[in-house]
Amino acid sequence: MNKSLLTLAIVAGIVTAPLNAEDVYEYIDTPTPEQIDDLLDDDNDGVINARDLCPQTPLMAEIDNEGCGTYVKTEQELSLHILFANDSDKIQSDFLAQIREMAEFLKTYPSTSIELQGYASKVGNPDYNMQLSERRATSVEDALIGNGVESDRVRIVGYGDTHLDAGGIDEISHAMNRKVVATVVGHKGSVKEEWTIFTKIKK
């Protein structure tokens, strides 16, 4: 018998061989694995969702084991200096840009608040000057609120004709003392970027 016939005979014997009872098994469905943890990484920071405590980490941020970015504290300061006409609490149009800029600054740093300090020149009745300085500060407060700043973040203080910067009695000194001033220091964390071999240096 040649090799081909021998092979055919063996296969035929296997196919036609009767099955014993112990050789028959019931069909069992393939079990579906139960995935307990979310193994995805939605923000692509290398930390799976199940362990990621900061799921919105910016791209290229340097992160810790919990998937949170490393922050560096930055500090910026913005000052407000608005002058008023004699016996007036009306804001002149030249100073409206300052108010808009301060409003945007306060929106950028939402944890900050502002104290508006109103002053009056040393002309006339001190009691009247105190009221005038408060009205000037209130005018600036209203303008900030009109530009989207929450009222509870603004505080006004009137100093009247006390604590003046210009101590002269000439018109220039008086003009410099009719003012509302404020300085705000904003603190904000910026994400520290991770340096990689692909980092490009800006030219």
User: Which CATH number belongs to the domain containing residue 179 in this structure?
Assistant: 3.30.1330.60
Mean pLDDT of 11-18: 53
Give the CA distances from residue 47 to residues 43, 188, 197, in Å, rounded to whole numbers and listed in that order. 9, 25, 20
**Structural domain includes residue 84:** yes
**Structural domain includes residue 110:** yes
Domain span at residue 185 reads: 72-191
Question: What's the pLDDT at 187?
Answer: 76
Cβ distance 70 to 192 under 8 Å?
yes
**Structural domain includes residue 50:** no
**Structural domain includes residue 60:** no
Q: Which residue has the tokens 């407060």?
A: 141
pLDDT single digits (tens) 146-197: 999 999 999 999 999 998 887 778 899 999 999 999 999 887 766 655 554 4
**Structural domain includes residue 122:** yes
Q: How much of the chain exceeds pLDDT 70, in percent?
A: 73
Cβ distance 161 to 87 under 8 Å?
no
Question: What's the pLDDT at 200?
Answer: 47
**Structural domain includes residue 139:** yes
**Structural domain includes residue 117:** yes
Q: List the beta bridge partners of residue 186.
A: 76
The model's confidence at residue 54, banded by pLDDT at 50, 70 and 90, is confident
**Structural domain includes residue 116:** yes
Count structural domains, the chain: 1
Question: For the whole model, what pTM was predicted?
Answer: 0.59
Question: What's the pLDDT at 199?
Answer: 42
Pairwise CA distance, residues 35 & 70, whole Å: 31
DSSP 154: E
